Structure 1
């Protein structure tokens, strides 16, 4: 693969999603508000630069993705709730997200793509005896992706669009035992931030673009929106505030952009720097937005590196949160309040891709 192509690939090879407040759906370096996984896999920016093979698997790309973070800093709006740390009553989530991405190239422009996410997580509050552990498969996505121009292009740039159907395969009612204030035990669903999925039908639209500029520097942009038209998941929250008795089925979004550049004299290695914004909107694009949700966003700086050798590619990035905002939800407006959300400082994201 050409080094300019490698540089552009740097940010395009991890996987999409289910974003949601602090859970698979959605958890990043952030915690209760963020995108759980990555964008749908795009196997290569220059599909025709791969050596031809008689292998029946030719055209298949498999990506294994991983991300991990700890969320514990509470925010209301953009204001850090320092008193939670001083009182030692923060709620902390540790989340590990896993992702299997598949892409099969039908033609130089068209590919079939699929994404199978999963997660393991723990959640606890300082000073509280309850420690919750959750895990399982998330909501799968299946669809297609197409490049606007047939690769490779003379301009060393291209734009891709993809559409995927979100299947309700995710575990959305994982339960555990809670010890109540009166000492009694009760089995309840976990907080939505550590539920592997939301178990509802939906669809995702995404775009990716790259262009090589001067001195072999490549600019890139990716964006995705996961639409969840269903109003709520039907899973109880056991919250007492009016309208917050069930979990909301939320849209999720992710935007990324920046530049990557190959490292001189180190063939196959490229470094990148960019920004990303991800989160959960207050109101969904389609359908109602009732139930309990933690809407908001995280804006991060995202340094990264990519190494390509033969048909193998490794991506590593570390988004660092610059702005965190827990926005006012629909039920917050109705109840004249403003809930908080826990965020993390950074996320570690890594992926390995094998092109056959």
Structure 2
């Protein structure tokens, strides 16, 4: 975990987070000053940021939205104060209205990010200062400390070379906590091809089959927020097993970037989980991240015990073989 400390000082009206990374300070600085890299970690899991403005110079502004798995949107704007490459970045961090203006009804804060080299790489210290105790208490109660820690906990994957840490490694499974599991898989293909493979039914039918011996009998997806989807499979020939399927509702759809949907096994008595699928392209390769939220730790363990990771990898190998290799 790169975050080494998070501390709130009510008397000084500050919250300070320190995180260390095994990369040069210039590389760490770059992750915070490139909007496409920022989007991959600026926001806790399930609430990724999308930057629609990014003028990173004194007097400039950056505007971003964080969209939750239910489609709820949190809007913010940075008013840039200081940019001293590669040592200091400072900005007023403010809530925004739908049209991008500062929301005067919400609490304000100022963030100063200091970067420095260390023996093992580099360190970032983010100090957030509040105008008064009410603003501090409100933002801390909203989960600011935890949100920062979770967001910075995703930065390792952004700083790492995608080809070194993910390509050829298959599906990587990380149990985040009792109800969240993150699956990642890299593809040596551009994002638009991986997106098409996941959203065009005639393509989905060719690879989303799990182990050999199964066929997809239903693949319906109304790909819009509020749209329903249904998928079903059946064994072929001498393959043993009973037909099954999944169904749910899409809550967030951002073309070529993100799909969030609920998912439940058709006819099963347990509540649905939420699947948050994102695609990030780096130098022509694509990192797929699937963050699954389960209703309970018991349901999480039951589903993981079915061999879910192996089934995913079998399907993704077929995706590479049947679609990406011939594109």
TM-score, normalized by length of structure 2?
0.32
Q: Which structure carries more strand by proportion?
A: 1
Larger helix percent: 2
**Larger Rg belongs to:** 2
Highest RCO, 1 vs 2 (Cα 8 Å, sep ≥ 6): 1
TM-score (norm 1): 0.30
